[in-house]
């Protein structure tokens, strides 16, 4: 849970409004993200107004608590590798 407070937020009938944008509460997949802000004991994403829509396609691209796996080693062209070795690189 984040200790930072959502600044400039106002509670309205539609939800919580920040700078003219209506924010939706964060979902459970957002727990642990550094972008969460608190307002009236609810968490909100500081980067996107509707966090559930960001997670609909699998993974939120703003998530700071999820690490991506790299593809492993890059494919090495043996001809270029032998030329580099001959040059002394």
Tens place of pLDDT for every residue, the chain, 89 residues? 445 666 778 887 777 888 888 888 888 888 888 888 888 888 888 888 888 888 888 888 878 888 777 666 788 899 999 999 998 76
Tokens (6 digits) for 59: 């993974």
Distance CA 62, CA 67 (A): 11
Tell me the pTM: 0.62
């Amino acid at each position: 849970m984040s200790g930072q407070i959502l600044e400039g937020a106002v509670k309205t009938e539609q939800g919580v409004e920040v700078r003219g944008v209506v924010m939706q509460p964060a979902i459970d997949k957002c727990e642990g993200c550094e972008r969460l802000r608190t307002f009236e004991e609810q968490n909100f994403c500081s980067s996107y107004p509707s966090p559930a829509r960001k997670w609909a396609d699998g993974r939120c691209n703003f998530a700071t608590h999820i690490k991506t796996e790299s593809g492993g080693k890059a494919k090495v062209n043996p001809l270029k590798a032998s030329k580099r070795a001959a040059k002394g690189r």
